[in-house]
Amino acid sequence: MGQVQKRAILILIMGLFLFSACTGTDPSDLPSETRTGITQNEIKIGSSLALGGHAGYLGTQMLHGANAYIRHINSQGGIHGRKINIIALDDGYDPSRCLYNTQRLIVEKKVFSLFCYVGTPTTVRIIPLINEAGIPLVGMFTGAHRLRDPVNPFLINVRASYYQETRAAVDLIVKEKGFARVAVFYQYDEYGFDGLRGVEIALKEYDMIPVAKGSYVRGTLDVEDGLDKIIASDAQAVVMIGTYDSCAKFIRLAGDLKFTPLFYNVSFVGSKELARRLGRIGEGVMVTQVVPPPQENDARPPLPGVSEYIRLLDIYYPESLPSFVGLEGYINAKILVEGIQRAGRDITRERFIRAIESIDDFDLGIDNPLSFGKNDHQGLDRVYFTQIRQGELVLIQ
């Protein structure tokens, strides 16, 4: 964390103590409406996510999808007479900035809940802060195992996990494709380590280990060393746990060197942006998804949830194209709204969490019902396979 950010956090903390000294009031004794972000007409929700930099596409798409549904709900009068106010701060996919933003959202903005965080290293960094504040976090764009096991009462995961994605991918690569040499290319941080571990666990079921492991540092495009290691292993398939920019460069360089294994990416990669950056050389690249394709298909009846997402996105963000990330954000918003609705007018954080846990077999309009429970804080489990064909991501049965 930079010196400017450290000073800003100290100023916030000193300000609270100064307030206490001058008024004789402990910050924890402030009126409930102020402390939890609930007023007569508004409920404040905070989000820290990448809106710029090398992961900016992910955060922007996530926020557009979520806000399209939130703005739709607000246009109808909100929930129990309250409109939802999403306060979004840019963390650039940097854990220190995410920690600083989250502290601001809790202490300065006094939000009721946190929402739609993007990334494993960023989200993992704030777990102690969430536990200390007792504040719920709903809908993280990460499948990290650490956010799921053991169950944390304040963390509400919607999407399937990376372990589930990588298990499905290994089954396809080894069992269906018959490949015996599988390498892993990963981002050298919590995200990449989690994905790598998922691959290793899945391969162990087949008495296999990765034939090579190559990595790169988050925020860089230094993929060459990792590529060299994997090429030397003569891998038949490469499991990639990274972001769209680094993975696109890896695949382009591999093509230049006539290295053409099966490339597979987990959902966090940002598949639409990956396909755009790869262009023609992306043909055949596979990506697992945790939501269905975000487009209407003439070959089969459109899913009502997908159609609604596309319609609302066109109304509120006409410049933004539908994406898997955006649809996930839209689904996160539906869960947030449903939890607030079920918690009632006299909502508290505890009642909100209990309300989320009461959701069972909930129809999102995506042919994939969602359920939670007291000991189950992950709503969806299904994994979808897509493949880049002629620049588009096509669903594979």
**pLDDT tens for residues 296-346?**
765 677 899 999 999 999 999 999 999 999 999 999 999 999 999 999 999
Same domain, residue pair 87 and 168:
no
Domain extent at residue 285: 162-289
CA distance 116 to 331: 10
Residues 35 and 22 grouped into a single domain: no
Assess whether 123 and 206 both reside in one domain: no
The answer to whether residue 75 sits within a structural domain is: yes
47 lies in the same domain as 64: yes
- As a whole number of angstroms, the distance between CA 156 and CA 388 comes to 31
Number of structural domains found in the chain: 3
Residue 17 lies in a domain: yes
- Domain for residue 148, yes or no? yes
Do residue 57 and residue 21 come from a single domain?
A: no
In 3-state terms the chain splits into helix, strand, coil percentages (rounded to 5) of: 50, 15, 35
Query: Is 374 domain-assigned?
Result: no
Q: What is the pLDDT of residue 124?
A: 96
Same domain? For 200 and 269 the reply is yes
**127 and 200 belong to one structural domain:** no
Whole-angstrom distance, CA of residue 239 vs CA of residue 182: 7
150 and 242 part of one domain: no
Judge whether 297 lies within some domain: no
Same domain, 252 and 326: no
CA nearest 382: which of 303, 311, 313? 303
Residues 122 and 80 occupy one common structural domain? yes
- What is the CATH classification number for the domain harbouring 178? 3.40.50.2300
The pLDDT assigned to 212 comes to 98
Task: Answer for the pair 237, 173: CB distance below 8 angstroms, yes or no.
Answer: yes
- 253-260 contacts: CB < 8 A, separation 24 or more? 253/223, 253/224, 253/227, 254/227, 255/281, 257/227, 257/231, 259/227, 259/230, 259/231
Supply the pTM of this predicted model: 0.88
List pLDDT tens digits, range 184-231. Answer: 999 999 999 999 999 999 999 999 999 999 999 999 999 999 999 999
